[in-house]
Every structure is written in structure tokens, then in C-alpha cells.
Structure 1
Amino acid sequence: MNDMDKTRLRINRSLILQEVRIEHVRDFLYQEGIISEEDMDRCGNVTKTPRERIACLLDLLPRRGPEAYKAFCSGLQETYPWVVEKLNSTPIPETQTKTLSSTVLPNKEMNTGETSERQRIREPYTELNHTVIKIVTRSEALNKYKDVVRALGVPQPDIDQIEYANFRDLQEQFYQCLLKWQSREGRNATVVRLIEVLREEDYNSVADKLDGYID
């Protein structure tokens, strides 16, 4: 999920907690592969209050891939159209807009040939490759690899299919899921994006290893 959509959810969190019930959107998000059965059980726990359930979902969504915000709004549209309208019309604070714009500038400079020597060295290694995949699949991220690949945008049905085809082999499941991400995203399946997701999921040590690899 991009920073602007995260901001929209944060600004409207109180509204969503007050208005939305998880039962009206949970199944749709599962159907679209945004959340897993484990997520459904965690956030739909009957011991939680309705407010706690939707809060749980809001905490998960930013880590569930680039399509999570769009799917959330689609799931809300039938029952809560006013919430969707409020979300999509929420102005992003000017300070954040400037921050986002400033992060785009270096990429524009790279495209115009004004790259530094270090950037030219890094460039061949920004796409996913076997060495990167090997580092990640042998790390502590293995035990909860599904959280990582869902955050990368791999649909839940694809994850389930890969798990079934490689029963009891977690490393191969993780490996195949990363290849699935690469086949879906092409050149957008970069090491930089993988590092971002690993940090979002609190796997900083393996993210640091990848940072060292592409330096």
C-alpha cells in the first residue's frame, strides 16, 4: 500500500471504527486474496468487540500489498458508500505531498543519466535474482513468509496453490511465491521493494543483509 493510501486510512480511522463492521468487508477481502484465513480468524475473534475487530483489520491492511486499499474500498462500497467517498476525497497534508514528491526526484535523475557512480553499480542488482531469493528464503522471515508475500501483492489463491504443491517444504513455498511475485510484477519486482516490505514486517536483519548485497 502506498503512503498516500496509508494516510487516508489513518486520517479516517475514527470514522471507520465508528461506522464499519468487519463482517461486511472481511469475506470480500478474503475472496480477493488480500487477507488469509489466519487473518480472518485473528480479526474476527468473537472475544473482540466490533471496534477491536475492525481496528485489527486496519492494522493489517497497510501490510497486505499494493491492492489492499482499492479492495477495501470496493468491499465497503455497497454498504458504506459515504465512507468510501470520504476516504477518496480526503486531502493529503501538503507536507506529506512534498515528501512524496522529493522521493520521486532521484529516480527522475537516474532516468536522465545523472546517476552517481554508486547508483550505476547498484542498478544491475535492483531486480530480483537467485542470490537475493536464497538470502531471504534462508532467513528468519521463512516461518512467516506468507505475511511477506501477501504484502508484496501475491494473491492468497496463488499462495494456497503453491503451499499445496510443496507440502511441508516451507523454503520451496517461499521461493516459489517470490518467483510468482516476480512473474506478476516483472521489472517492478525489485530488491528495493522487497527490502521495504521486510522492514514493514519487522525483518530488519535480513533487510540489512540485502542492503549490504546491493551496496
Structure 2
Amino acid sequence: MEPQHKYILRKHRLDLSSNISTDDTIVQYLYQEEILTLDHVEEIQAQSSSKKRTLMLLDILPGRGPKAFGKFLEALEMEYPWVQEKLLQRLDNNAVQITGTDHWAVSESVLQSVPSERQLNRLAGRLGPEWESVLLDLGLSAEDVYRCRANHPLAVQSQVLAGLVLWKQRIGRRATVQSLVQSLQAAELHPSVLDQVFL
């Protein structure tokens, strides 16, 4: 899923959970279109209220591949066309802000480079409670994040650094500053978080 799509789902999750119900055809359509597995459907249906079921769906969707957002919009069109229209409008309004990296004051050459461990350490020291969602957005699993916390129980910076280093080791040359910036944007962090990081 594109960073701007993740951003829109995260930014409007409470609004969506109040305005749509997954008890209708949304979950079944996403299952039919192979966005959700049977396990996902059961996990969503096991939630105790309609709102919780919708929130669970919104938690699952970002990890379900590049077609997930489009299929979610198609599902909305069947039952909630006004919600779909509102989401598309918000996506248009936010597209430039989310995809542009100009205001992050990072040069093109730095964006294409792989960050050093020193740079990752500097960034780890700047991240607040959003660090877990940044790591999940980068592709680490909830189990990976738990392991980072368990291995460094007394130092949050060490937990974050361990996660960032693991991300870099896993995907090698594809672990660029650009993908890191996109995940920071998806977590709605302010550009100032990168001040002095990529000197």
C-alpha cells in the first residue's frame, strides 16, 4: 500500500469507524477479492462491537499489498458512496503534502542513499512514541518490534535503533532514506525530526 493511502486510513480511522460498518458487505467483498484471508475475516468478526471490527479492518489493510486501498474504495462504493467520495477528496487534498519530500529538506542524493548506522542512531534518539508505527510501516512485524523492546528493556533509543538496523539488514540496498522519510510521513511526524540527522 502506498504511503499516502496508509496516511489517509490512519488519519481518518476514527471518522471511518463511526461512519461505516463492516457487518455489511465490506469484509466479504475484500475476502472475495483476496485482500483478506479467512483468518482475517474471523479475527475481525471476533471483535465485540461494529466500531472495533472496523478498527481491526483498518489495522489489517495497510499490510495487504498494493491493491488493498483500491479494493477498499470499491467496497465502500457499494454501501457507502459518500464515504468513498470524502476519502478520495481528502486523498487529492493531501497528495502533494504526503508525497513531496521538499519540505523535509533532504537532497535527492541523500534520499537515494542507504543511511549509515550513525545516522540511524541519531534518528532513533529523535523518535518519540511513534517509533513502533514507523517500524511497522517499514515492513517489520509486530513480533520484530516486540523482540526489539524485549532485548533492550531499559533504553528506548536502543529499541528503536535495533529495529532500524534490522530493517536495513533485511532489505539491504532498498533500505533508502527515501523509504524511511515516507514511513516518517505516514506516521505524521514533523520534518524537524530529521534536523541534524543526515549531516
Q: Normalised by the shorter chain, which TM-score bucket?
A: 0.5 to 0.7
Counterpart of 1:142 in 2: which secondary structure?
coil
> Could you tell me whether the CA contact under 8 Å between 1:142 and 1:171 is conserved in 2?
no
Query: What are the within-5 Å matches in structure 2 for residues 28-43 of structure 1?
Result: none
Change (3 A) 1:206 1:176: farther
Aligned-residue identity in percent: 15
> Could you tell me whether the CA contact under 8 Å between 2:148 and 2:159 is conserved in 1?
yes
Name the counterpart of 2:139.
153
Q: Deviations over 1:74-120 (max 9, x none)?
A: xxxxxxxxx89x77xxxxx9xx9xx9xxx9xxxxxxxxxxxxxx64x
Name the counterpart of 1:37.
none
Name the counterpart of 1:135.
122
Change (3 A) 1:126 1:183: same
Q: Does residue 199 of structure 1 match 2:185?
A: yes
Name the counterpart of 2:110.
122
Q: Does residue 69 of structure 1 match 2:67?
A: no
User: Which of 21, 24, 27 is equivalent to 1:18?
Assistant: 24
> Could you tell me whether the CA contact under 8 Å between 2:123 and 2:194 is conserved in 1?
no
| 1:133 to partner: Cα distance | 0.9
What is the CA RMSD across the aligned residues, in angstroms? Answer: 4.3
Q: How many residues align?
A: 149
In structure 1, what is the Cα distance between the partners aligned to 2:177 and 2:151?
A: 26
In structure 2, what is the Cα distance between the partners aligned to 1:71 and 1:192?
A: 18
Q: Does residue 2 of structure 1 match 2:5?
A: no
Q: State TM-score, norm by structure 1.
A: 0.51
In structure 2, what is the Cα distance between the partners aligned to 1:155 and 1:130?
A: 21
> Could you tell me whether the CA contact under 8 Å between 1:152 and 1:197 is conserved in 2?
yes
Change (3 A) 1:24 1:132: same
Name the counterpart of 2:56.
57
| 1:206 to partner: Cα distance | 4.1
In structure 2, the gaps of 5 or more residues are: 10-15, 29-35, 76-87, 100-106
Change (3 A) 1:176 1:129: same
In structure 1, what is the Cα distance between the partners aligned to 2:42 and 2:161?
A: 28
| 1:183 to partner: Cα distance | 1.0
| 1:130 to partner: Cα distance | 2.2
In structure 1, what is the Cα distance between the partners aligned to 2:161 and 2:42?
A: 28
Counterpart of 1:18 in 2: which secondary structure?
coil
Q: State TM-score, norm by structure 2.
A: 0.55
